[in-house]
Amino acid sequence: MIHIGPYIEEFINWLTSNFGALFNIIKIIVISVVDSVEWVLMFPPFYIIILLVAFLAWKRTGLGVTIFTILGLTLIWAMGYWGQTMATLALILSAAFIALLMGVPMGIWAAKNPLAGKIMRPVLDLMQTMPAFVYLIPAVLFFGLGKVPGAFATIIFAMPPAVRLTTLGISQVPKEIVEATRSFGATPRQLLFKVELPLALPTILAGVNQTIMMALSMVVISAMIAAGGLGEVVLKGITQLKIGLGFEGGIAVVILAIILDRITQSFGNTKKRNIA
């Protein structure tokens, strides 16, 4: 029998004992991002947030989504889960933001450098398919309990689509357009910012949508390490066999998911129409 486990354990322990300072810095950064977003969401009264989200929905999508947004968010508030929902939203938005901040440049790199792309591929596969619970253990070892390991696990799980779709978007830019741009004396930077990224934008935005959805799916899981939010409600329902409580939390997650999906999807779609 071959035991890989002990080696990985050894490696994680080595990381924890040697890179404690680094993990602390990461922890401080992540917690400040999550807390600031949460503060922004919690500071104004709930109806202001509802109106703002509804306004965004109305601008980007149709009347249907707008009505759903108003009714859905009001229902969440009425059920008494406003605080948890905002905590979850803050965690998702921060994790997605950080995932994109790292994922998009990595995607660009993979598109430009075939070797980097080749190396990244199996790593991304691993990140995406490894059961999410598995991340929780080292996350807790690195960062202790709370929001930070939750965000960390969420970032790792949500980053692959950002990387993949950025790579896809850039490599889909027609060869002749790239050639034309180079033939006019564009520097690699001009090529990237004036041509490749704008043309890849719809695909990258589809990646943003997927990243946010992936992040949302981690909510309940990260509640197991005390990340809080709606996940905690669902988890309580499961552990205490409170069917009603579980469903209430679940419904709040679904409402949040639908609103986030429709709004982020709309960004990708409008741009796509211009290009086709």
Partner 1 sequence: MSKLKIEDLTLIFGKEKEEALTLLKQGKTKAEILKETGCTVAVKNASFNIEKGEFFVIMGLSGSGKSSLLRCLNRLIEPTSGSVILNDVNITSLGDKELQNVRKKEMAMVFQNFGLLPHRTVLENVAFGLELQDIPKEQREAKAQEVIEMVSLKGYENQNTSELSGGMQQRVGLARALANDPEILLMDEAFSALDPLIRTQMQDELIDLQEKMHKTIVFITHDLDEAIRLGDRIAIMKDGEVIQIGTPEDILTNPADEYVSSFVEKVDRKSIITAASLLFEKPTVAIFKKDGVEGSLRKMRSSGLTSLPAVSVDKHFLGFVYLKDILELKAKGHQTIEMAIVKDVPVAYPETTVEQMLPFIAENGRAVPIIDRETNKLLGIVAQTSLLIETTGTSWENVTGNSIDNLQNEVI
Please select the residue that binds partner 1; options are 198, 243, 247, 270, rule is CB under 8 A: 198
Q: Is 270 in the site for partner 1 (CB under 8 A)?
A: no
Report the alpha-carbon distance of residue 27 to residue 25 in Å, rounded. 5
The residue type at 75: L
Instruction: Output 178 or 245, the one with its CB closest to partner 1.
Output: 178
CB atoms within 10 A of CB 85: 24
Q: Is 199 in the site for partner 1 (CB under 8 A)?
A: yes
Q: Is 187 in the site for partner 1 (CB under 8 A)?
A: yes
Contacts of 145 (CB under 8 A, 6+ apart): 225, 226
Return the range that interacts with partner 1 (CB under 8 A); candidates 30-38, 61-69, 102-110, 182-190: 182-190
Residues in the chain: 276
Return the range that interacts with partner 1 (CB under 8 A); candidates 42-50, 92-100, 175-183, 249-257: 175-183
As given in the structure block, the two tokens for residue 154 are 């969420």
Return the range that interacts with partner 1 (CB under 8 A); candidates 35-43, 94-102, 178-186, 222-230: 178-186
Phi then psi dihedrals of residue 31, to 5 deg: -65, -35
Q: Is 101 in the site for partner 1 (CB under 8 A)?
A: no
As given in the structure block, the two tokens for residue 247 are 């469903």
Instruction: Output 35 or 179, the one with its CB closest to partner 1.
Output: 179
Q: Are 69 and 50 in contact (CB under 8 A)?
A: yes
Please select the residue that binds partner 1; options are 180, 240, 247, 270, rule is CB under 8 A: 180
